[in-house]
Structure 1
Amino acid sequence: MTEIVVYELDQPVTTGAPETPGGAESRVRTVHAAPAAPGTPGETGPRTLCGKDTFAMARARWQPADHPGAAWYPEEHASSVCPDCAAVIET
């Protein structure tokens, strides 16, 4: 699978948490899949499989190619999967 998992994030919330830059923590709104950029397999392409712009999305650390046989998305975000991206992958 050459898709890359990306997160559409809510606006950052100030938490003061030390592990987040500037004390801001973003919550995952929707999990999308995007094709790899042409000629650069490790980079995200410009649009998700459902057609959204990936510019403001965050690339997930969890990637399908690293987990053969698993779902294309991280289990902890199963309830946030984009149904349109999922439909494209399932066909």
Structure 2
Amino acid sequence: MSAIVVVYELEQPAAAPAPAAGPPGAGRLPRRVHAAPAAPGQADAVGPRTLCGKDTFAMARARRTPSGRPGEPWYPDEYASVVCPDCDAVMEV
């Protein structure tokens, strides 16, 4: 399998527009944490779809990169409760 990138499916923005300060998604919490293959030839770029098949276009890339060591989670510990069960199942294989 190619390199894996952790991405966040972010909460929907509030109805009122927020100031455009900071990177896209700044201040929004992850609604779901997904795993996606890296883009071909670019280990630090996200591919077009997550392992569960969702489009990554509007998702934010996490700073964490899975270690690949057995027994260590591929996702950040603080978001364990919102990990995509389908992505997690693929990562466990």
TM-score range, shorter chain: 0.7 to 0.9
User: Offset of 1:42 from its aligned partner?
Assistant: 1.2
Residue 87 of structure 2 is matched in structure 1 by 85
Larger strand fraction of residues: 1
Residue 5 of structure 2 is matched in structure 1 by 4
Provide the C-alpha distance between the structure 1 equivalents of 2:13 and 2:49, rounded to a whole number of angstroms.
22
Match for residue 36 of structure 1 among 29, 34, 38: 38
Structure 2 residues without counterparts, runs of 5 or longer: none
Structure 1 residues without counterparts, runs of 5 or longer: none
Match for residue 60 of structure 2 among 55, 58, 61: 58
TM-score under structure 2 normalisation?
0.79
Q: SS in structure 2 opposite 1:7?
A: strand
Give the root-mean-square deviation of aligned CA atoms: 2.4
User: Offset of 1:26 from its aligned partner?
Assistant: 0.5
Could you list the structure 1 runs, at least 4 aligned residues long, displaced by more than 3 angstroms after superposition: none
Contact 1:12-1:25 within 8 A present in 2 as well = no
Q: SS in structure 2 opposite 1:25?
A: coil
Identity %: 59
Contact 1:11-1:27 within 8 A present in 2 as well = no
Provide the C-alpha distance between the structure 2 equivalents of 1:27 and 1:38, rounded to a whole number of angstroms.
28
The size of the alignment, in residue pairs, is 85
